[in-house]
Amino acid sequence: MLVRSCSPSLHRVSRHAPKPSRRLFQAMHPSEIQLITIQGHKQMINQDQDDTRTQKTAIDRRGLLKMTSAGVAALGAMSIFDATIAKAQDMSNGASNFYTSDKVTLQKVTFKTQYQTNVAGNLFLPKNLDQASKNPAIIVGHPMGAVKEQSANLYATKMAEQGFVAMSIDLPFWGESEGQSRNLVSPEAYAEAFSASVDFLGSHAFVDRTNIGAIGVCGSGSFVISAAKIDPRIKAVATVSMYDMGAAFRDALNKSQTVEQRKQFIATAAEQRWAEADGSNIQYIGGTTLELAADTDPIQREFYDFYRTPRGEFTPEGVARETTTKPTLSSSVKFMNFYPFNDIETISRPMLFISGDQAHSKEFSKDAYNRASEPKELVWVKGAGHVDLYDRVDLIPFDKLKGFFDQHLA
């Protein structure tokens, strides 16, 4: 069974333990998986096998092997093991995460949300843009656990090449955007970032505020849908390799997690919240493994090839590499209350869902498409997996995206 950090299965933490941060959190994987605590930039992995209280409250390993079959395949899983296998990145099919273009200009920007926190973005403008006229604009959100320099910049650059004003953003608590604690899960704040992006873009004289659309890659697909349900200013929505982060945490892939298993994880997160309230260090869960082993599962390898090799790895300034891609344990339960596809039919604006026909996440695009009202379209990219559509420009249907926004942002 595969493990993903969207809904990790962990040993519970005793609130009354003298040093809760010293717990060994093990998740279901052929290898042992641990949570990490970061103080500054120092990785601390602590183990206390003799804690009988932890043993008594631990989730049965058989249960662990049934839980979280891929809760956040979007994030991968963190494995600790003895043997490692070196693996060079796969740059096939035009993998080009760090693509730049001499046809566009880049400007780093920041702007306020309704919470008066700053969102960081990269604004891409075609060099031949007529700034005396009103132009359509597109917002691009990055995969969950990533930052704008991973996939979002690529999509924004490519759309700017096609004549659009385009802006990639860092979700709150990630990358260069504000928010403490870092890597905190807050679906409402994530959705608000898209609406704040509309505010910002619409304040520019060269942007047609009646023609602003959005692209959400992976987890951001569900966040932009959440935003669009209550913000009709987002005129057209496209998702790529979408993850419903709520369903991923509640049910795992293919609804392989039970309600009881979900409750066990919620209890673990609650114990960790007590620990943090009592002064213990923040715990991070899941994320992409830092090394590969012979028994690393295929989906984890897919994420590793992007997040842990020069193909797509990026560590923001001031962030420890060990915590990149990893949300905080105590906040991750907020995804349990996240239902982005409920009432999706009320959007009633153009929606385009793009997924690889080999993607482990394709169930989410199919579900959203089935629930959405017209106009809508579902595009399967033949032979493409989930992560392939992060950066493989020979597979990503940019022509389809261009046609969609040309038609609906006019």
pLDDT attached to residue 63: 32
Q: Is the pLDDT of residue 5 over 90?
A: no
**Most confident residue range from 48-52, 64-68, 73-77, 272-276:** 272-276
Residues 158-193 have pLDDT tens digits of 999 999 999 999 999 999 999 999 999 999 999 999
Model confidence pLDDT, tens digit, residues 8-46: 322 223 333 333 332 222 222 222 223 444 333 333 323
* Residue of 107 and 44 predicted with greater confidence: 107
How far apart are the C-alpha atoms of 169 and 36, rounded to whole Å?
Answer: 27
Q: Which residue has the higher pLDDT, 74 or 81?
A: 74
Residue 254: pLDDT over 70 = yes
- Which pLDDT belongs to residue 351? 98
Which one is predicted more confidently, 120 or 11?
120
Q: Are 365 and 340 in contact (CB under 8 A)?
A: no
Cα separation of 377 and 352, whole Å? 5
**What average pLDDT does this structure show over 54-79?**
34
Q: Diameter of the chain by CA atoms?
A: 70
Quick one: pLDDT at residue 286? 83
Q: What is the structure's pLDDT at 13?
A: 30
Q: Which of 8-12, 155-159, 322-326 has the lowest mean pLDDT?
A: 8-12
How far is residue 93 from each of residues 386, 388, 399, measured CA to CA in Å? Answer: 14, 9, 16
- Give the DSSP letter of residue 372: S
pLDDT in tens, 352-401: 999 999 999 999 999 999 999 999 999 999 999 999 999 999 999 999 99
pLDDT at 48 over 90: no
- pLDDT-based confidence at residue 287 (cuts at 50, 70, 90): confident
pLDDT at 234: 98
Looking at residue 77, its pLDDT comes to 34
Per-residue pLDDT at 88: 65
- Share the mean pLDDT of the chain: 84
Q: Residue 410: pLDDT band by 50, 70, 90 thresholds?
A: confident
179-194 b/e (C-beta count within 10 Å ≥ 16 → b): beebbbbbbebbbbbb
- Report the alpha-carbon distance of residue 218 to residue 34 in Å, rounded: 25
What mean pLDDT do residues 125-133 have?
A: 97
Residue 66: per-residue pLDDT: 32
Can you tell me the distance from the alpha carbon of 200 to that of 203, in angstroms, rounded to the nearest whole number? 5
pLDDT of 51 strictly over 60: no
Which stretches does DSSP call E strand in 75-206?
104-112, 118-126, 135-141, 165-169
pTM of the predicted protein model: 0.83
Instruction: Give 259-271 pLDDT, tens digit per residue.
Output: 999 999 999 999 9
- Alpha-carbon distance 205 to 203, whole Å? 7
CA distance 276 to 28: 24
Percent of the chain past pLDDT 70, that is, above it, reads 79
SS3 breakdown of the chain: % helix, strand, coil, rounded to 5?
Answer: 30, 20, 50
Q: Token digits for 341?
A: 């596809």
- Pull the structure tokens for residue 192: 């608000």
pLDDT tens, residue by residue, 292-313: 999 999 999 999 999 999 999 9
pLDDT reading at 207 higher than 70: yes
Closest alpha carbon to 221 in 404, 337, 352: 352
